[in-house]
Structure 1
């Protein structure tokens, strides 16, 4: 009998359905196993407090009873949550499409309800957390939170005392509903410390009730209909620590805000404020202030007023119209760790040398023309975004900022346009070569004696010089010490005694060859021999540095790489700086000798040609100010192979022109790639035919 044909799309559809079913089954089995583990170990059932953990905890309890997503029984699910709340004190009825607070909740502690649920009275605890978020509540009846004192409730009959189950609430979460008002009885919750009413439809009338809850520490009213001037009654919340008013239409903050002597976090983002009362906030223990996306103008700290904040750690005033942080010389922010000034009208930043704790600075989309005074002294600064400003020069001292890991300079009119796309490490490496050698103090240099023929440091004194030059981070800084080749043996002994040395700086000395003693440093990663009068023969024998990742040979009068390539064995070398030398001829394929090489800095030489093979595998290449007569079109194909930073300005070639080069590496390589000759077709026909 002839079998019916099976279409390929039908087979693939069935396979996909089977795969989806299998994946779903595996997920359900894993969920069931997790539920069983939680049931066996009660310690896994309770998360750390908070609305989110309570919410997931409630879902997990449902999963124990329904791990395979059978059709839900809303009443059954509600009973399970209530039963759990009697034992934990945490009731989560979030995301249940409720329009009113259920009767089961209102009578959850009634004797009959407890008896029907077979609850052991000895295990029952007071309800401390109620989460009714993400429902459809438009109004909460007065009977849920009766406006009667707890003492009066205790003296009333059960029917009149409905709502007493909420007397012990410490946290109430009603966010994500449609409430336009709250019941007056909320003011009777004498233990309430956290109230979340975000994403509702509340107006200023809510403050007349909320501001009578003297115990509140955390109040969230973001994304409501608060408009105009904020209520002065806010000042009565003396215990308030967190105030969230984001995304409303508030025009002005009241003077009573200064009475919140415990306030630590203030979020007023997304309103219509034109000024902030910084003089009122000055004496508050604020650590986090978010005033982003308002209409702030002028300066944040007014001239002649307060000049900073003693405890502020995070300040966000992004997306405003500020002309300055202050028009004074400096702002005192000793504890500041994060500052966001993105998208304002700033033309300059005040002095920042006192911001010693700063780790993150975002000031993109402004008109800042230079880095602020003291910027390079910020030792803890790690992340900086200065994109889309008017910066033209980056000071070389940035190279000394050891902790700086992110520096974004895109869309600035920089003289060195290569910095627009370079990573922070590459920028610092390039700037390092421009630094003037550090001048040593008289205590750091030993005084030349009469029996020192060349005026160099005496042998017995060099040990102490080495000790002083050794930094805690594994850097041995011997730059500008007047050292020559006679230091080799003593350096070898010192390196053998200190195996943790990872970086050696020997720039600005009188060394004529790469010191053989360096091979004694087993952990050596970085060697800097820049600005030394090295001989043509920089190495006289095979030299092995297996862990070396960066070698700097800038401005050493080097005229050939032959000895370096033939005698230096550095299989881990990733970065090579041979800028400002006398190298000429074609650029060699350096990765044949150093297979891990990704960064080549070779500007200010006389290389006259470069091939795609010589650049293949490299990620960052600087060949500016050489004698290149042309750029082969095949180099354009290297973008997909990892070449992301190519600097070739100030050479002899005319094409591509300056307008192409200034657009950056991607545009330059695209221009070259478009000019790669198309291979002729078989039979002699070309694509142009």
Structure 2
């Protein structure tokens, strides 16, 4: 019987639709004649040059200005299933929306009944809605409407997204619980109180719920935990004082926003059982310890914000907290006195702890290898650990407002800060010795030991001979000296001679340069212009010098006396000297173990002297930033076969040739005078090719900035798109296909 009813109803609806269409055709196909001109030519209103003005003389001042917009949006929503009536000043849901699926409405707007789809998204935000009538959202199941042939049904029954934020709603209709397809509900910035949670907690299909900036007060209703599919919950801007203990029932909750409430504690024992990735509780009334004893790990948490509270500790003293996935931690504007062990926060990128009472930067801080930004401003820190200079990823460190002993560190840039702290550091060996180098070192130690034994044996034999000679001379004197002659007395005794020789030896050893642990010879800021070759030889005989720091001196040439240290020297810094022109190296210099050379902040104009005189077969990195270099030698890679890093930023380069940098992995030529970027540089990318190219701050206009800011790969792709097809084909055979960047 019900099948016949529905079939008859369907036939009736089809008949009505056809009748409405025929009526519309009759209205539009009238037999009116077109007006004609004096010459009998007919003018049609549908000509292309005709201009359609709905109100050319502005005579419809009394009409609702949003009526036309509303009709257009309703017509579009009928075929797309997405209706947006936001910011129209609505005080209630318009009748056009409620009757949008009626046949009369479809025919009046030249619509097609066959093209209509169910409404899945409704946005009615930023209006003046005070209440939603129960008739609009009836508390009736969808199955009940199937047996009702006369009713219109629930047009909102298929909603998946409902956005009502920015209204003045004081309650929600009971029929909300019948929206079984709804997954996203936004009720923020309304006037809802705790009673709304009774209905919302029955909407078990929700995955995204926002009730921020309403009038929720007191403890949060425990019924909210019935939303077991919920993944995101936003309750910020209310007056909640406590969370329910059964939050662990929300087994899929990933994002929880509790900012700007009146919370005095957070049940981390329950939250630790959830897959939380983001938790924000700033501007509450939290005090004492944030995370209670017993919570040892939050395995999925990526972002934690507990700023603007009254916390004194993050965790209990003596306990540890593991945050293996955390990316950002903000504990600013609290009363923290210390930070916990952060050694397990291996993925941390941003740490904000400004405006606290922290007295020291913890040792575990320097082990955060991925950390990029750290803010310790306005604390009680007095000493900055020198190990911070080893944090390669750290790009920003704020220390303003701290009583530092070294005041210049407060306003120093991160590069200056690292350079200053590196001088105070006792670095480990910069690289592992190869087998050949270890063999050479062992041979040197053995030879040194043999020399010591030989010297000891020689000194002993010399001592014995001296004693024997003295005894013999005494005997001879007894027989050869006349009785009337006085015995010969030396000017000083033997003990005095030995002591003077010993003091001279100590004085000579005291004059040798000190070598820090790790093989660092630091002769920086000595106002030196030369390097004594004798002292270098003496130091090389006693130590294995791996690093030489000669920065901030008066050197006009690279000292050739460094060759005495060449067998072990791997790093050389001559920054901030007076190296000028192309005569800063005029003699052959052999440094067989040198891997890194830093000549930044000088007045060098060419790198030809390095190619001509420097013998460094394992040199990997050259830094000549902040000089006056105008061109790069094409045979730089041939002179230094292992060279992979070239830093020439802030120079006067006018051209960057592809052959010049072929084989390099990292090239920084930013802030130069390059007028044209050679497209063949793009062919240097690919497998085992150029990995990082910095060319910002030059004169060229293409590629544009939006290409450069996307990184090296995007820049190289853009350049490859400008090379000849035959060259690109050869590149593709080695590296595979490539897509151009617009």
TM-score range, shorter chain: 0.5 to 0.7
Work out whether 1:86 is the aligned partner of 2:82.
Answer: no
1:418-567 to 2 correspondences below 5 Å: 418-439=408-429, 446-448=438-440, 452=444, 480=519, 506-507=547-548, 513-514=558-559, 528=573, 539-541=584-586, 551=599
Deviation per residue, 1:48-98 (Å, 9 max, x gap): xxxxxxxxxxxxxxxx999x9x99831111010001101111000000000
Work out whether 1:382 is the aligned partner of 2:372.
Answer: yes
Report the 3-state secondary structure (helix = DSSP H, G, I; strand = E; otherwise coil) of the residue aligned with 2:246.
helix
Question: Which residue of 269, 273, 278 corresponds with 1:283?
Answer: 273
Q: Distance in 1 between matches of 2:111 and 2:192?
A: 38
Aligned 8 A contact 1:222 1:247 in 2: yes
1:30-45 to 2 correspondences below 5 Å: none
Work out whether 1:243 is the aligned partner of 2:233.
Answer: yes
Q: Distance in 1 between matches of 2:79 and 2:53?
A: 18
Aligned 8 A contact 1:550 1:574 in 2: no
Query: Which residue is equivalent to 1:188?
Result: 178
Q: Which shifted more, 441-450 or 87-96?
A: 441-450
Question: Which residue of 197, 205, 209 corresponds with 1:219?
Answer: 209
Query: Which residue is equivalent to 1:319?
Result: 308
Aligned residue pairs, count: 448
Q: Distance in 1 between matches of 2:161 and 2:308?
A: 33
Aligned 8 A contact 1:330 1:350 in 2: yes
Per the TM alignment, residue 114 of structure 1 is displaced from its structure 2 partner at its CA by: 1.1
Q: Distance in 2 between matches of 1:404 and 1:571?
A: 20
Question: Which residue of 117, 141, 156 corresponds with 1:149?
Answer: 141
Report the 3-state secondary structure (helix = DSSP H, G, I; strand = E; otherwise coil) of the residue aligned with 1:224.
coil
Change (3 A) 1:507 1:118: same
Higher CA-based Rg: 2
Work out whether 1:331 is the aligned partner of 2:321.
Answer: yes
Report the 3-state secondary structure (helix = DSSP H, G, I; strand = E; otherwise coil) of the residue aligned with 1:172.
strand
Aligned 8 A contact 2:549 2:573 in 1: no
Change (3 A) 1:575 1:306: farther
Aligned 8 A contact 2:521 2:547 in 1: no
Q: Distance in 2 between matches of 1:334 and 1:213?
A: 34
Q: Distance in 1 between matches of 2:211 and 2:249?
A: 19
Deviation per residue, 1:197-238 (Å, 9 max, x gap): 000000010011111111000000000000001101011101
Change (3 A) 1:65 1:218: farther
Aligned 8 A contact 1:480 1:508 in 2: no
Q: Distance in 2 between matches of 1:482 and 1:410?
A: 33
Change (3 A) 1:363 1:563: closer
Work out whether 1:128 is the aligned partner of 2:120.
Answer: yes
Aligned 8 A contact 2:325 2:345 in 1: yes
Q: Distance in 2 between matches of 1:562 and 1:210?
A: 72
Q: Distance in 2 between matches of 1:158 and 1:313?
A: 54
Change (3 A) 1:442 1:120: closer
Change (3 A) 1:95 1:438: same
Query: Which residue is equivalent to 2:292?
Result: 302
Question: Which residue of 566, 571, 574 corresponds with 2:626?
Answer: 574
Normalised TM-score (structure 2): 0.55
Report the 3-state secondary structure (helix = DSSP H, G, I; strand = E; otherwise coil) of the residue aligned with 2:195.
helix
Per the TM alignment, residue 120 of structure 1 is displaced from its structure 2 partner at its CA by: 1.9
Change (3 A) 1:345 1:326: same
Aligned 8 A contact 2:603 2:627 in 1: no
Question: Which residue of 344, 347, 363 corresponds with 1:354?
Answer: 344
Q: Distance in 2 between matches of 1:450 and 1:84?
A: 84
Report the 3-state secondary structure (helix = DSSP H, G, I; strand = E; otherwise coil) of the residue aligned with 2:369.
coil
Normalised TM-score (structure 1): 0.59
Change (3 A) 1:135 1:563: closer
Per the TM alignment, residue 404 of structure 1 is displaced from its structure 2 partner at its CA by: 0.5
Query: Which residue is equivalent to 1:364?
Result: 354
Work out whether 1:408 is the aligned partner of 2:460.
Answer: no
Q: Distance in 2 between matches of 1:549 and 1:222?
A: 57
Change (3 A) 1:514 1:215: farther
Deviation per residue, 1:31-60 (Å, 9 max, x gap): xxxxxxxxxxxxxxxxxxxxxxxxxxxxxx
RMSD: 4.2
Aligned 8 A contact 1:550 1:575 in 2: no
Report the 3-state secondary structure (helix = DSSP H, G, I; strand = E; otherwise coil) of the residue aligned with 2:427.
coil
Aligned 8 A contact 2:311 2:335 in 1: yes
Q: Distance in 2 between matches of 1:323 and 1:384?
A: 19
Work out whether 1:106 is the aligned partner of 2:95.
Answer: no
Q: Distance in 1 between matches of 2:209 and 2:194?
A: 14
Query: Which residue is equivalent to 2:156?
Result: 166
